Amino acid sequence: MQEIPVSLLTLVAGAFVTVLSIWLGHNHSLLPVQASAQAPLVDGFFNIMFSIAIALFLIVEGTILIFVVKYRRRKGDDTDGVHIEGNLPLEVFWTAVPTIIVLCLGVYSVDVFTRMGGIEAPGHMMAHSHSPSHVAQMPGTALAATLSDASASEMEIPVPPAGARKIGIGGTSQDGKVADLVVDVTGMQFAWIFNYPESGVNSGELHVPIGADVQINLSATDVIHSFWVPQFRLKQDAIPGIPTQLRFVATKTGTYPIVCTELCGAYHGSMRSQVIVETPSEYENWLTENKVAQNQELNQAVAVKPAQLSASEFLAPYAHDMGISSVTLESMSH
């Protein structure tokens, strides 16, 4: 019986490994749903890396198994194995192939990072500064915390100097377009605070309209935090004294977690919030409601449940705009 040439077996095995690794690399459920325009770029890069990893695993582990079976010690065989000094072509091959793979992945990753706005052109200057105003005013509907005047002063963030460079994904826009929505995000032990500078609204959760080009200006008041939305495939550090940015376009409505991925203290694990992607009309309604709710000049606020308020307490924030006196409100509640 004629033996099958090793070269033919190698070719067949290589084709099988290639097809299997590519299929597995693109048909897995390891990543959460894509919810931003940037997510497909990251997923494409991940799928290629995963395919290469599967191929290398199959080749290495498959070779080990073949050698374990074919060159196992037979009963009664006490002879030494074949003495091999080395194989220069083989050593060059297994050095060159990983080198080429790493270089190609490096070039690809830089391309993805650039397309996401992570690499800034020389001389590109910051166009938007963090706004410390409104940071000290927290609406009770958003944060379950009471903020005193003392803590408010601690939350003040220094405005970055003029001409400061942008750092982060989206730190530079490839087409020079101004973002549709700008949100200043402050990380502190152990919460995220979201300030909408154009409307003066503050919140403990991030609301964005679907399809809008959103620019997130990140800062921190105490230690380094890291802002991560898995469904957006975006993560960026919030560093005290160094403004950073994230820029994204949400493509799927829903509620997605915001996680701090930088160990920032004893309650790091509880430093979570959420981003709510809404239709433009839903976002406008939310913005309008919060403008009204935050119209009062509050130095401190605490989270409350509307269901626990009396009729007069519930209507109090609207009384001034409607021209209704507190006496009238009180009489309406009886």
C-alpha 109/C-alpha 294 separation (Å) is: 43
131 assigned to some structural domain:
no
25 assigned to some structural domain:
yes
Q: 283 and 163 share a domain?
A: yes
| Residue written as token pair 């994904």 | 169
Q: How far apart are the first and last CA of the chain?
A: 102
Q: 327 and 275 share a domain?
A: no
Whether 247 and 179 have beta carbons less than 8 Å apart is answered as: yes
258 assigned to some structural domain:
yes
Q: 96 and 191 share a domain?
A: no
121 assigned to some structural domain:
no
Whether 183 and 214 have beta carbons less than 8 Å apart is answered as: yes
Q: 289 and 166 share a domain?
A: yes
222 assigned to some structural domain:
yes
CATH code assigned at 234: 2.60.40.420
Whether 147 and 300 have beta carbons less than 8 Å apart is answered as: yes
Q: Give the pLDDT of residue 134.
A: 37
Task: Compute the mean pLDDT over every residue in the chain, rounded to the nearest whole number.
Answer: 79
Q: 190 and 319 share a domain?
A: no
Q: Give the pLDDT of residue 319.
A: 57
C-alpha 194/C-alpha 204 separation (Å) is: 6
Question: Residues of the chain with pLDDT > 90: what percent?
Answer: 48
122 assigned to some structural domain:
no
Q: 319 and 291 share a domain?
A: no
Kindly report, residue by residue over 185-200, the tens digit of the pLDDT: 999 998 999 999 988 8
C-alpha 227/C-alpha 262 separation (Å) is: 8
Kindly report, residue by residue over 110-142, the tens digit of the pLDDT: 999 888 887 765 444 333 434 433 333 333 333
Q: 283 and 332 share a domain?
A: no
| Number of domains comprising the chain | 3
Q: 158 and 263 share a domain?
A: yes
Whether 240 and 220 have beta carbons less than 8 Å apart is answered as: yes
Q: 289 and 179 share a domain?
A: yes
| Residue written as token pair 């095995």 | 13
Q: 90 and 167 share a domain?
A: no
Q: 181 and 50 share a domain?
A: no
Q: 187 and 315 share a domain?
A: no
58 assigned to some structural domain:
yes
Q: Give the pLDDT of residue 138.
A: 35
Which residue type does 6 have? V
265 assigned to some structural domain:
yes
What is the DSSP secondary-structure string of 112-126? HHHHTT-SPPTT---
For the chain, 334 residues long, give each residue's pLDDT as a single digit of tens: 567 787 888 888 889 999 999 999 999 989 999 999 999 999 999 999 999 999 999 999 999 998 899 888 888 888 887 787 888 888 898 899 999 999 999 999 999 988 888 776 544 433 343 443 333 333 333 333 333 343 433 444 444 444 455 677 776 555 668 889 999 999 999 899 999 998 888 899 999 999 999 999 999 999 999 999 999 999 999 999 999 999 999 999 999 999 999 999 999 999 999 999 999 999 999 998 888 877 755 545 455 556 666 655 655 665 555 556 655 555 555 5
Structural domain span for residue 43: 6-71+86-115
Q: Locate all alpha helices (DSSP H) within the chain, ordered by sequence.
A: 6-26, 39-70, 88-115, 149-154, 280-293, 311-322, 326-332
pTM of the model: 0.69
